[in-house]
Structure 1
Amino acid sequence: METYARTGQIDSKFADYAPRINSKQLAQLQQLLSTKIPLNSVAVSQFLHTPIGEELLGRLAQVIQTDDLASEFHALRDAMILAARNPQGFTPLEVLRQFPSETVYIKLEKALALVGEVNQFVNQTNDASMVVNQKATLEAQFPFDLSRSENLRQPGRLAWKKQTLTLSDPERDRQIPTDLYLPHSRTRHPIVVISHGLGSDRFSFAYLAEHLASYGFAVVVPEHSGSDSNQLAMLLAGRVRDITSPQEFLDRPIDVSKLLNKLEQLSRFDPELQGRLDLQSVGIVGQSFGGYTALAVAGATFQAQHLKTMCQASQDSLNLSLLLQCGATQLPQLPSHLSDPRIKAAIAINPFSSAIFGQAGLSQIRVPTMIVASSADTIAPTLPEQIQPFTWLTTPNKYLALITGATHFSALASSPNEAIPVLPFVVGTNPIPMHQYLKALNAAFFKTYLMNQQQYRSYLSANYVKTINQLPIQLALVKTLSTSDLSKNLEDRLSLNLSACILLLLVFAPFPLWDWASNSVKPYTRRLM
């Protein structure tokens, strides 16, 4: 394989394997084996020593093995860490080269089962995305006249001022650093809370906070100290053992409620804030773990038994968000809910919700809700974590925005405190269009449901988003989608290919997976030398 990856020539040793896959897959294999990923060996090492990293390693070690079966787990981890030290870049081929054994066995029976899930996510996502786009086309029956409308992608008319608040919660021994973006107007402003994702911080969505403040919202961006960039930095420094604690499933929604309590006090006693905050009109927008947070405070209820059942059945799953959700089973007890009645509208970007809330939990949300999904999301797979959960919402005012070509990280902007740089191949193609989409959608949504300015409802339509689409990232918006619309896509479909198998086994799992051709190959077991 090394000779083939370097020269494209099939030597005598590789000749027995090459005929088993077609020419297109061979070309993919050559590219995948030599694909360089700029990983830091310390970051790889720290992640692979976390419970989630060890869980993934344990599953992969059942597939890729050495002569010493007792040490294959450690052999795989060591090989990945050593490969990441290569100054030329981490590659799947380098991982194979670093194995402390001359012989490596790949058990394709198990490998194909893992690849089947990945391909299932890809195929189902593609099919479901097609359904959503077709529905959006049907809903976009009338042209939208942009010449007579506001450009919601551009800043509003109001100037604003940013100030930083440090809130303390002695009961939980927790600090909540918070940025407040306050319009200069002396009127009462509805509040929008922005909840960042795991390993991120309050600067990642500064662009959205500034935008909403210019439209008259008081925007508060708390930093969740147990799951922020500082937590990730401590992990990489070896000061903590896990990416986050299960307690964060409780602490994040509590952070939001504690923050609103503090703002109520400040609005009564702080001369700068008196009469300027409307605590009865509060919205929330969150991304990833923040998307979970938004759904929780908006009214989704926890389903402990459903979570336990799904986690018991997920032993072969590579759904990273499901691994994270299953961490909540370690909590002594999940409360029935952590909702806050002051929340009147919610937007969840790339959320995960299938296990911890499920259909029963999400159906309890009563406020207007928008779910923003990315078609290339490999962390919280689009169909099971975002599109299907949208069909479980029963609130009459609900929206699904699907951004084709965006990844789990496309919504993020760079932060001065980020522990790991936001790499282009992680974010995907130019994320600026997605940022523009989010600015427009958030402004229209909260204008409609927090300020009750019904003229902005027309912007929450398929025909409007059709007019602001920018290649290569496409936006579609639907208000209705049923389980029956997706029924064909919820069936098990296994489309396997050897290229995906090899990359899946060797590439660091939290990074995005490529989308390959779905040509199938017959399962076989072979000793790879």
Structure 2
Amino acid sequence: MAVAGKWFSSVWQIFGVGLSSAILSAIASVSPAHSAEEMIISYGIANTSISIAELEKFVESGESTPLLFVYGYLLNIEDPEGLRRGLKSPFEASPWSIDRFLNSPTGETILRRMGRVVNTGDGENGYMALKTAIAQASKRPEGLTIMGILQEFPDPQIRIDLDFSIDLINETTQVLFRDQTIIEQISQQRSAENSANRRPQQRFTIPNPRTMGPYSWTEAEVVFFNPNRDRPSPLFLYLPENIDRPAPLIIISHGLGSDPKTFSYLAEHLASHGFAVAIPEHIATSANRFEGFLQGFEEPPNPSEFAARPTDISYLLDLLEQKSASDPFWRERLDLQNVGVVGQSFGGYTVLALAGAKLNPQILSQYCPDLPNRRITLNLSIILQCRALEVALERQNFRDPRIKAAIAINPFSSLVFGERGMAAINIPVAIVSGTNDYITPAIAEQIEPFTWLTNSDNILVLFEGGTHFSFLQEEGGQLPIPPEIIGPDPNFAYPYLKALSLTFFNLHIRRELDNRNYLNDAYLNTIGSSLFQMTILEELTPEQLQRAFPQP
């Protein structure tokens, strides 16, 4: 889910998805006058309190008391001045949008989870107190700030469950270590296989897939109507010129908080090699819609997006078929029976659904009703996946037979599809996984789901060093995302996706078998950047995954 940058950043800070942020927000969730006067930190049978006066003194003057200094050391706060700014800086969201979020299932889940760390004075879950404080603080003239939350917290004391916090840190560390170990083991095994099966230097007789192709292209914009939406949707087309046959079509599905510009670099590359490219705007989850939501003008996305997104693709194909049959400009211009799809994050879900993955209401029904009370997890996509239950109970299959191959980048799939849902795919699929992705984590959302595929001609692409945002064009339409979340410079990642996409679709859409020589990590890593490395696996079984990190 290319999660909307400013909204994701705000949620991260307000609700403390990262544990340190949670504790610091909790420190701020106390009041100097008519509300809380102290924060109590509970560890075992011991309790330690910090007065609000100490915190206010630090925020106003930068002067830290000895006790705050100790806690700053324990929480590894390396930038006290940055912390002061964070406590006073307003979040860019309107009171209306904040209120909508707080009263949404997603907001409730996050607040209830954080309330297990941030308790009221009598040790109860701090969910309602946090909700009240945030809602009231958002209405202040200066906007929503951590200090505003401090002044609005409606309880005499705030209690931090440090035992739970430390357990959570340890558990999170173990999960990160496990996931990294598995990825390293898989990569090392693949490297050993490459060395053992090293072939003579391969001579490539087809154009280099990293470079632009020989075709110029024109850009066009049309609109299409999806009956599941309340208004028409824009569709951006890249049409190659001077080709002697109908161009195969590639459709790109953007993620949450992005828009068609995010992948324009990929569209131009494919068009230069003779593919027609279509990028619809999924209007309820695009950057413009999210910006409007943050400003208080739009409703938040709802669960119907799990149906609307894949049907966007099917309806735009219907439109292009109609134009090809009735409009001389479009006649014999597109091959609409051999279509490839690329999608990132929520778009990754979209293309897997179109490829035949079936929604799994059984897993969602078992896991999601108790989601607010489950352990806090780094897998943020779980909260979004549970929103699919309403749709999954009504419809499970969104497969479109015109789709013949799919590339899913950073998709989420563990709950929304599960093993049975992924096993229903019967076309070639490439799953691209960023090894430093903590929004849709590699092991849970891509690597293990890859082992559930039962058809042939699939590949798993481990993009080592990649994050959830590595392939998003910086000057595209996505909302601003903090650099520390983006990771290494995405400009060095784009050539990998260009080469991978062109090669994969040449092989499986055009059926140009020579392209298989390019579809390996030995070649793709010659693209050359020390920031990233690709490992491509054609097969990975559950048993191999288990051996990569055996349970004690």
- TM-score between the two structures when normalised by the length of structure 1: 0.81
Among 191, 205, 217, the alignment partner of 1:137 is 191
Once the two structures are TM-superposed, the CA of residue 150 in structure 1 deviates from its matched residue by 3.9
Q: Specify the structure having the higher radius of gyration (Cα).
A: 2
1:313-347 deviation per Cα after TM superposition (whole angstroms, max 9, x unaligned): 64224322111111122338332311011111000
SS in 2 for 1:55: helix
8 Å Cα contact 1:403/1:434 also seen in 2: no
Once the two structures are TM-superposed, the CA of residue 446 in structure 1 deviates from its matched residue by 0.3
Once the two structures are TM-superposed, the CA of residue 59 in structure 1 deviates from its matched residue by 1.1
Q: Which residue of 2 aligns with 1:517?
A: none
Structure 1 CA distance, aligned partners of 2:464 and 2:392?
A: 39
Among 470, 474, 477, the alignment partner of 1:410 is 470
Higher relative contact order (CA 8 A, sep 6+): 1
Q: Which residue of 1 aligns with 2:289?
A: 231
Once the two structures are TM-superposed, the CA of residue 86 in structure 1 deviates from its matched residue by 12
Over 3 Å counting, the alpha-carbon distance change for 1:425 and 1:457 in structure 2 is same
8 Å Cα contact 1:41/1:85 also seen in 2: no
1:472-492 deviation per Cα after TM superposition (whole angstroms, max 9, x unaligned): 222222212221222156778
8 Å Cα contact 1:373/1:386 also seen in 2: yes
Aligned partner of 1:42: which letter?
A
Question: Within the alignment, does 1:452 sit opposite 2:534 as a pair?
Answer: no
8 Å Cα contact 1:5/1:34 also seen in 2: no
Once the two structures are TM-superposed, the CA of residue 49 in structure 1 deviates from its matched residue by 5.1
Which runs of no fewer than 5 residues in structure 2 stay unpaired?
1-49
SS in 1 for 2:465: strand
Once the two structures are TM-superposed, the CA of residue 149 in structure 1 deviates from its matched residue by 6.4
1:461-515 deviation per Cα after TM superposition (whole angstroms, max 9, x unaligned): 121123224122222222122212221567789xxxxxxxxxxxxxxxxxxxxxx
1:183-232 deviation per Cα after TM superposition (whole angstroms, max 9, x unaligned): 00242111111011112111111111111111111111111122222331
8 Å Cα contact 1:284/1:347 also seen in 2: yes
Q: Which residue of 1 aligns with 2:219?
A: 162
Over 3 Å counting, the alpha-carbon distance change for 1:368 and 1:276 in structure 2 is same
Q: Which residue of 2 aligns with 1:42?
A: 93
> RMSD of the TM alignment (CA)?
3.6
Structure 1 CA distance, aligned partners of 2:154 and 2:551?
A: 37
Among 258, 263, 269, the alignment partner of 2:315 is 258
Over 3 Å counting, the alpha-carbon distance change for 1:434 and 1:95 in structure 2 is farther
Among 48, 62, 67, the alignment partner of 2:121 is 67
Once the two structures are TM-superposed, the CA of residue 119 in structure 1 deviates from its matched residue by 2.7
Over 3 Å counting, the alpha-carbon distance change for 1:248 and 1:17 in structure 2 is closer
Over 3 Å counting, the alpha-carbon distance change for 1:306 and 1:470 in structure 2 is same
Among 113, 126, 130, the alignment partner of 2:180 is 126
SS in 1 for 2:308: helix
SS in 2 for 1:336: coil
8 Å Cα contact 1:189/1:278 also seen in 2: yes
Within a 5 Å distance, the mapping from 1:460-479 to structure 2 comes to: 460-479=519-538
Among 419, 422, 434, the alignment partner of 1:359 is 419
8 Å Cα contact 1:368/1:397 also seen in 2: yes
Q: Which residue of 1 aligns with 2:384?
A: 324
Among 256, 260, 273, the alignment partner of 1:198 is 256
Aligned partner of 2:522: which letter?
N
8 Å Cα contact 2:186/2:548 also seen in 1: no
Over 3 Å counting, the alpha-carbon distance change for 1:71 and 1:391 in structure 2 is closer
Within a 5 Å distance, the mapping from 1:485-504 to structure 2 comes to: 485-487=544-546
Structure 1 CA distance, aligned partners of 2:275 and 2:194?
A: 29
Q: Bigger shift: 156-165 or 307-316?
A: 307-316
Within a 5 Å distance, the mapping from 1:23-422 to structure 2 comes to: 26=74, 28-31=76-79, 34=82, 40-42=91-93, 45=98, 47-48=101-102, 50-67=104-121, 72-73=126-127, 75-76=129-130, 103-141=157-195, 142=198, 150-170=207-227, 172-186=229-243, 187-242=245-300, 244-312=301-369, 314=371, 315-318=374-377, 319-331=379-391, 333-414=393-474, 417-418=477-478, 420-422=479-481
Structure 2 CA distance, aligned partners of 1:278 and 1:310?
A: 42
- TM-score between the two structures when normalised by the length of structure 2: 0.78
Q: Bigger shift: 283-292 or 36-45?
A: 36-45
Structure 2 CA distance, aligned partners of 1:383 and 1:396?
A: 21
Once the two structures are TM-superposed, the CA of residue 354 in structure 1 deviates from its matched residue by 0.5
Structure 1 CA distance, aligned partners of 2:407 and 2:522?
A: 20
Structure 2 CA distance, aligned partners of 1:188 and 1:368?
A: 22
Aligned length: 484
Q: Bigger shift: 472-481 or 36-45?
A: 36-45
Structure 2 CA distance, aligned partners of 1:448 and 1:32?
A: 54
Structure 2 CA distance, aligned partners of 1:39 and 1:121?
A: 33
Structure 2 CA distance, aligned partners of 1:78 and 1:336?
A: 38
Q: Bigger shift: 483-492 or 401-410?
A: 483-492
Q: Bigger shift: 98-107 or 281-290?
A: 98-107
Question: Within the alignment, does 1:435 sit opposite 2:494 as a pair?
Answer: yes
SS in 2 for 1:252: helix
1:389-428 deviation per Cα after TM superposition (whole angstroms, max 9, x unaligned): 111111211111111222112221145654x323322321
SS in 1 for 2:337: strand
Structure 2 CA distance, aligned partners of 1:69 and 1:415?
A: 47
Q: Bigger shift: 267-276 or 438-447?
A: 267-276
Which runs of no fewer than 5 residues in structure 1 stay unpaired?
19-24, 494-529
SS in 2 for 1:224: coil
Over 3 Å counting, the alpha-carbon distance change for 1:79 and 1:123 in structure 2 is farther
1:264-301 deviation per Cα after TM superposition (whole angstroms, max 9, x unaligned): 11112222221111112111010011100100010111
8 Å Cα contact 1:139/1:463 also seen in 2: no
Aligned partner of 1:206: which letter?
S
Over 3 Å counting, the alpha-carbon distance change for 1:429 and 1:77 in structure 2 is farther
Aligned partner of 1:217: which letter?
F
Structure 1 CA distance, aligned partners of 2:70 and 2:494?
A: 49
Q: Bigger shift: 145-154 or 339-348?
A: 145-154
8 Å Cα contact 2:303/2:391 also seen in 1: yes
Structure 1 CA distance, aligned partners of 2:145 and 2:471?
A: 26
SS in 2 for 1:308: helix
Aligned partner of 2:269: which letter?
H
Over 3 Å counting, the alpha-carbon distance change for 1:157 and 1:140 in structure 2 is farther
Q: Which residue of 2 aligns with 1:13?
A: 67
8 Å Cα contact 2:307/2:391 also seen in 1: no
Identity %: 36
SS in 1 for 2:225: strand
Aligned partner of 1:381: which letter?
P
SS in 2 for 1:275: coil
